[in-house]
Amino acid sequence: MASIEKRGTRSWRLIVEAGYGPDGKRIKRTKTIRIEDEALLKTTKKLREYLQTELMKFKAEVESGEYIAPERMSFEAFARKEWLPKHAEKNMSPLTVQNYMNHLERVVFPAIGHKRLNEIRPLHIVAMMDSLDKTDLSGSTKLYIFKVIKSVLNQAVKWKLVPRNPMDGLERPRAEKQRPRYYDQDVAQRAVEAIIQEPMRWRVYFLGALLGGLRRGELNALEWPDVDFAAGGVFVRKSYSTTKDGEPVIKEPKTETSERFVDFPEWYMDLLRKYRAQWNEERLAVGTKWLGGERQFLFHRGDGRPIYPTTPAHVWYRIMEKHGLPRIRLHDLRHTAATLLIEAGVDLKTIQERLGHSKYTTTADIYAHVTERMKKRTADHLEKFRPQSVPN
CATH number at residue 110: 1.10.150.130
Q: Could you tell me how many residues make up the chain?
A: 392
Bridge-based pairing state of the strands 260-263 and 233-236: antiparallel
Arithmetic mean of pLDDT, 91-114: 92
**Greater pLDDT, 40 or 371:** 40
User: Is residue 336 situated within a structural domain?
Assistant: yes
- Classified as helix, coil or strand, 236 is strand
Q: Are residues 189 and 143 in the same domain?
A: no
Quote the CA–CA distance of 347 and 285 in Å, as a whole number: 46
53 shares its domain with 80: no
- Domain presence at residue 168: no
pLDDT, residue 389, reads: 64
258 with 131, same domain: the answer is: no
Q: Does residue 130 fall inside a structural domain?
A: yes
Same domain, 48 and 76: no
- Per-residue pLDDT averaged across 319-346, rounded? 93
- Give strand ranges (E) for the chain: 2-6, 11-20, 26-34, 227-228, 233-236, 239-244, 247-251, 260-263
Round the average pLDDT of the chain to a whole number and report it. 88
Q: Enter the pTM of the model.
A: 0.67
In a domain, 388, yes or no: no
Do 88 and 195 belong to one domain?
Answer: no
Q: Are residues 97 and 21 in the same domain?
A: no
Same-domain check for residues 342 and 204: yes
In tens, the pLDDT along 40-81 reads 888 888 998 999 998 888 888 777 766 666 657 899 999 998
Note whether residue 123 is domain-resident: yes
- Say what angle helices 185-196 and 332-343 make with each other, to 10 degrees: 130
Domain housing 316: 185-376
Nearest to 337 by CA among 193, 203, 198, 215: 215
* Res. 381: pLDDT tops 80: no
pLDDT tens readout for residues 269-301: 999 999 999 999 999 999 999 999 999 999 999
% helix / strand / coil in the chain, to the nearest 5? Answer: 55, 15, 30
- pLDDT value at 98 more than 70: yes
**Do 219 and 331 belong together in one domain?**
yes
Question: Is residue 101 domain-shared with residue 130, that is, in the same domain?
Answer: yes
Looking at the predicted structure, is the pLDDT value of residue 212 above 80? yes
For residue 180, being part of any structural domain is answered with: no
Q: What is the 3-state secondary structure (H, E, C) of 300-314?
A: ECCCCCECCCCHHHH
- Residues 232, 360, single domain; the answer is yes
Q: Are residues 359 and 233 in the same domain?
A: yes
How crowded is residue 251: how many other Cβ atoms within 10 Å of its Cβ?
A: 16
**Residues of 269-286 as b/e, b for ≥16 C-beta within 10 angstroms?**
bebbeebbeebeeeeeee
Listed residues 41, 67, 93: the one ending a domain: 67
Top-ranked range on mean pLDDT: pick from 218-222, 256-260, 369-373 = 218-222
In a domain, 138, yes or no: yes
Task: List pLDDT tens digits, range 234-255.
Answer: 999 999 988 777 788 888 876 7
> Can you give the pLDDT at residue 163?
84
The radius of gyration computed from the CA coordinates of the chain, to the nearest angstrom, equals 28
Identify whether residues 316 and 345 lie together within a single domain. Answer: yes
Burial 64-99 (b: 16+ CB within 10 A, else e): eeebeebbebbbbbbbbebbbeebbeeeebbbebee
pLDDT of 84 over the 80 cut: yes
- How many domains in the chain? 3
